[in-house]
Amino acid sequence: MELFDFAYCGNYSASIASLSLLSPEKWSFDNKNDNGILKKYIEHTFNRLYEERKVVESEEYAIFNTGLFDEYYKPICAYFVKNKVPNRQNWYLDGFYTEYQLTTLGVIKVPERANYFDDPAELVFDTHLDIIPQYEHIFGDSDNLSRLPLTVRNSAMKVQLFNGAVEVAKRMLEANYKTAIPQFYRGKMQLLVPICLQTPNVPDLALTCMKTYDKSKYLGSTCLTLEMAYNNARLIAKPESNWLHA
């Protein structure tokens, strides 16, 4: 279930702008002011909560926990009322409210947050394991290939350049295992590793890494732009990193 199938969201941009004031952080990339990060965060959070059956529906209202907090670390929820327009979605997005505000609306209990992992070890990169890039996908898939810098994409040495970048990434992980940032994708936890192809210590891409079934190594299955990586990582938590930021 998608958010916009579940509810009519009216002036969605205005509602998201209000939410950005309730839970302030950098919610737009570069010099934009579109709250693009926050929009994707809310939409994907809803998807996960609906899968987990944590979107609460009653006779009068529907509600879900955004996973965000106000400045006093009180949870913020999306609150919906019945849609009065016939033959449309059942719900209408009334707004995003703090726990105190929800109490005044008759909400007795704040719903649970989305859960993305059961074992905290999934969030930590095991530096004893090797990384095996899936070059058939990274170079063979047109979408993936287009994410590489042009000079690398057209180079006859791109495999060697990428291998070198992976080796540097391994050293970075050995120096600080927190360099790898968790993301949730298609029901599974992955770790994002910086890939510097042009300038030392300046990542061009993030390599998604996931342990093999026997947990003997990591498979680097695909490359993401830094914007894509940030959006995915933000579902779990705000990345506290010197290489992945908005």
Q: Is residue 31's pLDDT more than 90?
A: no
Q: Across the chain, how many H-helices and E-strands are there?
A: 9, 10
Where would I find the H helices in the chain? 3-6, 12-22, 36-51, 99-104, 135-138, 142-146, 150-153, 158-175, 226-234
pLDDT at 149: 96
Per-residue pLDDT band for 188 (boundaries 50, 70, 90) equals confident
Q: What angle do CA 22, 48, 179 make, to 5 degrees?
A: 75
DSSP code, position 112: P
CA neighbor of 107 nearest in space, from 74, 85, 131: 74
d(Cα 6, Cα 244) in Å, to the nearest integer?
32
Q: How do residues 33-56 score in pLDDT, each as one tens digit?
A: 999 999 999 999 999 999 999 999
Which tokens belong to 49? 């909560």
pLDDT at 3: 98
b/e per residue 139-170 (b: at least 16 CB within 10 A): beeeebeebbeeebeeeeebeebbeebbebbb
Name residues whose C-beta falls within 8 Å of residue 241's C-beta, 6 or more positions apart in sequence: 178, 179, 181
Q: What are phi and psi of 69, to 5 degrees?
A: -130, 155
Q: Is residue 186's pLDDT more than 90?
A: no
Q: Are 245 and 203 in contact (CB under 8 A)?
A: no
Mean pLDDT of 152-178: 95
**What is the number of alpha carbons within 13 Å of residue 16 lying toward its C-beta?**
18
Q: What angle do CA 209, 152, 30 make, to 5 degrees?
A: 70
220 - beta bridge partners? 133, 209
pLDDT at 240: 87
Lowest mean pLDDT among 4-8, 66-70, 106-110, 204-208: 106-110
Q: Are 207 and 183 in contact (CB under 8 A)?
A: no
DSSP code, position 141: S
pLDDT at 181: 97
Residue 141 C-alpha from the chain's centroid: 22
Q: Indicate the pTM of the whole model.
A: 0.93
Per-residue pLDDT band for 88 (boundaries 50, 70, 90) equals very high
